[in-house]
């Protein structure tokens, strides 16, 4: 599959979302990474499960120097499973449900890992609820026929992972500023939830 065809298929699966900027850059990288993987006997669903597996390992090893690497591996698996499904022509509705479910479970283990290293539980509950509600609104809107739910907010999953990554990197240098970082994350997450809710409201009126 050529890159242009890959982009076209991705757009069709994401409500004809515009491919530009960061999205285009990530898809281009994902395409290059997945091409050799597509020749091996690795299915998209296996990659999805590996994303959860590395998320669990992150929780188990949260207090070690392996934590940032495990988070990156978890995010990579989640980021390229959809691209692998497109290139190998194995996109299924079950795969989409599995991917979304595993994403939510993996993020729970990210938050548990933050709690394990000493982050404030109340802050973690707030940020997890805000992120979960945002994803629920998007999924529910899509179920009600809103095809343009591809609006990019300030706190999409890669951004949420970036906050977690910054926390674990700061910990490697003995900077205990994780609660301050999480407060910044909460602020962006609440703004993002408002953005998506407002967008969805006007689409469903």
* Residue numbers annotated as active site: 103
Got the DSSP string for 129-164? HHHHHHHHHHHHHHHTT--------TT-HHHHHHHH
143-158 burial by CB neighbour count: b if 16+ within 10 A, else e? eeebeebebebebbbe
Angle at 133 between CA 130 and CA 135, to 5 degrees: 110
Cα–Cα distance measured from residue 98 to residue 26, given in angstroms and rounded to the nearest whole number = 22
Q: How far is CA 40 from CA 28, 77, 118, in A?
A: 20, 15, 41
CB 130 within 8 A of CB 186: yes
Cα–Cα distance measured from residue 188 to residue 52, given in angstroms and rounded to the nearest whole number = 25
């Amino acid at each position: 599959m050529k890159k242009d065809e890959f982009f076209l298929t991705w757009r069709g699966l994401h409500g004809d979302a515009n491919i530009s900027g960061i999205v285009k850059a990530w898809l281009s990288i994902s395409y290059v990474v997945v091409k050799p993987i597509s020749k091996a006997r690795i299915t998209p669903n296996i990659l999805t499960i590996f994303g959860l597996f590395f998320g669990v390992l992150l929780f188990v090893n949260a207090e070690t120097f392996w934590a940032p690497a495990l988070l990156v591996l978890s995010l990579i698996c989640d980021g390229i499973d959809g691209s692998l499904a497109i290139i190998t022509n194995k996109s299924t509705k079950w795969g989409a449900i599995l991917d979304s479910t595993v994403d939510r479970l993996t993020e729970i283990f990210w938050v548990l890992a933050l709690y394990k290293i000493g982050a404030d539980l109340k802050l973690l509950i707030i940020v997890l609820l805000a992120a979960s509600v945002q994803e629920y609104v998007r999924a529910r809107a899509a179920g009600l026929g809103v095809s343009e739910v591809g609006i990019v907010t300030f706190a999409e999953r890669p951004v949420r992972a970036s906050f977690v990554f910054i926390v674990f990197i700061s910990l490697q240098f003995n900077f205990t500023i994780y609660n301050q970082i999480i407060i910044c994350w909460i602020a962006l997450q609440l703004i993002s939830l408002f953005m998506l809710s407002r967008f969805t409201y006007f689409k469903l009126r």
